[in-house]
Structure 1
Amino acid sequence: MTISLHEALRSSPWSGLPGPSTAEGWIARARQVAAILSVDAVERDRAGRTPTAEVRLLKDSRLTVVLGPAAHGGGGQSWTTALRVIRAVSAGDGSIGQLLGYHLLWAWAARLVGTDGQIEAVEELYTSHNLFFGGAVNPRDADLTVRDRGETLEFSGRKSFSTGARVSDLLVLEGAFAASGEHVFAIVPTDQEGIRFLGDWDNLGQRLTESGGVDIDGVEVPWASAAGFVDKTFRSLVYNTLNVPLIQQIFTSIYLGIAEGALATALAYTRDKTRPWPYGSAPQESAAEEWYILETYGDLQSRLWSAQALADSVDAELAGLLHARRETVTERARGEVAVRIAASKQVAAAAALDTAHRIFEVTGARATSNAVGLDIFWRNIRTHSLHDPVAYKRREVGEFVLSDRIPEPSWYT
């Protein structure tokens, strides 16, 4: 029998156990976490409390260090595993899957743009202490202002979205020098003066992601912590621009997880509670024998299998670049994987939206009860799939197949 989040935190089911040693083991653990989260996902979503307990569950299960170096107690796994872990957790609770996905992205941030020394220091720090990341990097807002104070940098400004930041131990800041416009990333402790969370996240879905605004006021960072800078000069690589393709494929994992959770929940409801329609030309004894229910589930599952297969393929392609020697990643390779990610994301979003919408047709009128909570899946996918216009992803694929044009790196490509 699946235990609840409260029971899991009280009993610590993974206490004293070593972390999984295989990709399959990590994915299985993620499914255990998802099962725990699914028990009261609706109630927690309705309450809308800060997900402190949920982040503790992620830490206790050590999914937070699935990518961390084994030498420091991490899983030492690849991004193919990490993306499947995000997908599995999202099936149990889309909000917490998003928190985990963003954490793993920011945990990889030093590797994306940092120097070798910065990578080693950050990965040892977060892995050995099992620290949780958030980010204040929303590109649709004005950049944080960065000022050179000699030995330090000073960040100031406001970001309207800062997913996971309020429940984080470490916060990724991004800003630009006013004169040159050059961008700077830095990782800072979250609990400090100068960082104030606005507590204004009040959205239709993904309610437990703590994605509200944050004020940054005079946060100082040593120049040595400016990611990728050596003697105040940034060392640029194509690899640095993989941050956006990576987060877009993380979105794919979240969307597929939400679809998987919606379909599994609906199937269970139909088996146990949906009644057959008695007024048709050939009444059935159970809902599981109704032709329109069988046809709908067959269509939804087929679409989901297709989206999963594409995502699995693209996950492997992206991981091949993320785990390559950073100097070897070319603009062409980066562009081609960005196109494939654009295809994967838009297919996953369409499958998830369709699934979350149509499950009501095969569960019945009683399934609209607030106590059932099937609305959580539609609200979650509808909210996050608006992150950036999916139409632009379709256009990127079209430009590639028609004109062999790869996307230029941007904050959304």
Structure 2
Amino acid sequence: MGVAIEPIYLTVAAELAERFREDAVQRDKEGGTPKIQRDWIRESGLLKLLIPEEYGGDGGRWSDVLKVVREFSRSDAALAHLYGYHFLCMVAPHLAGTEEQKRYFYELTARHHYFWGNSSNPLEKSIIGKHTTRGVVVNGSKSFSSGSPDSDLLAISWNDEETGEYYEGIIPTSREGVRIVDDWDNMGQRQTGSGTVVFANVWVKPNEILERPYSGQTVFSTIIPLLSQSILASIFIGSAAGALEEARAYTKTHAKPWYTSGVEQASAEPSTIARYGDLWTDYQSALSLVEKADRELDYIWSKDIDLTEKERGECAVLIAAANVKAGKTALDITNRIFEVMGARATSSKYGFDRFWRNVRTHTLHNPTEFKLRSVGNWYLNGVSPLPGFYS
């Protein structure tokens, strides 16, 4: 039986993750925009991984993208978030636009290695659009605009001033009237740039307006929440993997055995060994469910506009379950690693706490309780999750 050869994109991702690791702790403390690292990603070619070959991309699958997200999360969950959400925004014209929009934005991204950012928080009705014969003029601001700093293209949303109807569009981030505010200062995901974007009389041209955001003419156009939950699940489980790896290295090289343990090395202490066994087993269990959900996501993506409501519902439940399992497991692992490292590992110079802070920050944005209700209602009553902004 031959040895499996790792795909080139994973080799590139692993090399980047190691470069990210070199100053991940310091950058986490500083916050701001990781411009150098974002440019490394641009130069790597990984921003076109999912784009079909006919449009100049690599023709990858969602499961390929999510493997890269997990790889990046081992050292830097913020950059993993930026990478995953690049694709979440980039596929909007594919899901909810015309064939011309899909082709245009895919080819533009592949040709220039453009990085996409987000300013389309759908629950915040704080951007108002006025329709004219020349397009739409939008005014207002959006929070939670992940990836907006240093982006090339920006996915935005607004509500019509007369009807209140929800719209989405794609504009260059450099468009006149767009102002990126550097006000993201949370305890975790500190370099995602998830702060505020202000729009002052910003024009959105007719060919930049998507025709059916979230709910429209096809079931396929409603799967954005499934993509975002899959990305987050991979950030969670990738962070858990990174925390375990750094904890193992610390335990073997720095940790001190308790003075009554009777052993000379912390790595020889039976309870420490058992804890690692427990943590690794939990990680593998969650990873397996995440990978299973990834395969199902690949399937529904391949169905495109032929996707049925039943197929969407079954995939939505599986992804929700994987997201919940990955989040709970990651919170547990990133907390318990300190039990196997000891008191000295809490020093800020190591930055081991960043793993927990990153996961905790994300799990609060898409509450577990409501995903569990969707899963439980499907299993108990046979009711599929209703398509919505987060389901």
Q: After TM superposition, give the deviation of residue 383 of structure 1 in Å.
A: 0.9
Task: Name the residue aligned to 1:399.
Answer: 377
- 1:359 alignment partner, SS class: helix
Does the 8 Å contact 2:183/2:196 carry over to 1? yes
Q: 1:139–1:228: structure 2 CA closer, same or farther, 3 Å change rule?
A: closer
* Equivalent residue in structure 2 for 1:261, among 242, 251, 260: 242
Task: Name the residue aligned to 1:126.
Answer: 109
Distance 1:49 1:135 in 2: 16
* Equivalent residue in structure 2 for 1:227, among 210, 222, 235: 210
Q: After TM superposition, give the deviation of residue 191 of structure 1 in Å.
A: 0.9
Distance 1:32 1:382 in 2: 27
Distance 1:262 1:41 in 2: 13
Count how many residue pairs are aligned between Structure 1 and Structure 2.
385
* Equivalent residue in structure 2 for 1:153, among 133, 136, 140: 136
Distance 1:36 1:214 in 2: 30
* Equivalent residue in structure 2 for 1:383, among 343, 351, 361: 361
* Equivalent residue in structure 2 for 1:348, among 326, 344, 349: 326
Q: 1:361–1:97: structure 2 CA closer, same or farther, 3 Å change rule?
A: same
Task: Name the residue aligned to 2:230.
Answer: 249
Letter in 2 for 1:376: R
Does the 8 Å contact 1:69/1:124 carry over to 2? no
Q: After TM superposition, give the deviation of residue 210 of structure 1 in Å.
A: 0.4
CA offset digits 1:184-243 (Å, max 9, x no partner)? 2111000122111221100001000000011112211221221137xxxx9621111001
Task: Name the residue aligned to 2:256.
Answer: 275
Q: After TM superposition, give the deviation of residue 331 of structure 1 in Å.
A: 1.5
In the TM superposition, 1:9-408 aligns within 5 A as 24-228=7-211, 236-280=217-261, 283-326=262-305, 328-408=306-386
Distance 1:378 1:226 in 2: 38
Q: After TM superposition, give the deviation of residue 61 of structure 1 in Å.
A: 1.3
Distance 1:313 1:37 in 2: 28
Deviates most, 380-389 or 61-70 = 61-70
Q: After TM superposition, give the deviation of residue 97 of structure 1 in Å.
A: 0.3
- 1:118 alignment partner, SS class: helix
| Structure 2, unaligned runs of 5 or more | none
- 1:187 alignment partner, SS class: strand
Q: 1:388–1:354: structure 2 CA closer, same or farther, 3 Å change rule?
A: same
Distance 1:352 1:84 in 2: 16
- 1:217 alignment partner, SS class: strand
Letter in 2 for 1:378: W
Does the 8 Å contact 1:23/1:81 carry over to 2? no
Does the 8 Å contact 1:196/1:215 carry over to 2? yes
| Structure 1, unaligned runs of 5 or more | 1-21
CA offset digits 1:255-285 (Å, max 9, x no partner)? 11111111100000001111222213xx112
- 1:324 alignment partner, SS class: helix
Distance 2:228 2:190 in 1: 19
Does the 8 Å contact 2:320/2:372 carry over to 1? yes
Does the 8 Å contact 2:154/2:170 carry over to 1? yes
Task: Name the residue aligned to 1:10.
Answer: none
CA offset digits 1:111-146 (Å, max 9, x no partner)? 111111110011000111100100111123115212
Distance 2:132 2:29 in 1: 45
Q: 1:53–1:354: structure 2 CA closer, same or farther, 3 Å change rule?
A: same
**Runs of 4+ residues over 3 Å off in structure 1:** none
CA offset digits 1:347-369 (Å, max 9, x no partner)? 00011100110000100111111
Distance 2:39 2:253 in 1: 33
- 1:398 alignment partner, SS class: helix
Distance 2:157 2:234 in 1: 25
TM-score by length of 1: 0.90
Does the 8 Å contact 1:69/1:127 carry over to 2? no
TM-score by length of 2: 0.95
Distance 1:146 1:107 in 2: 22
Distance 2:159 2:49 in 1: 32
Distance 2:385 2:55 in 1: 37
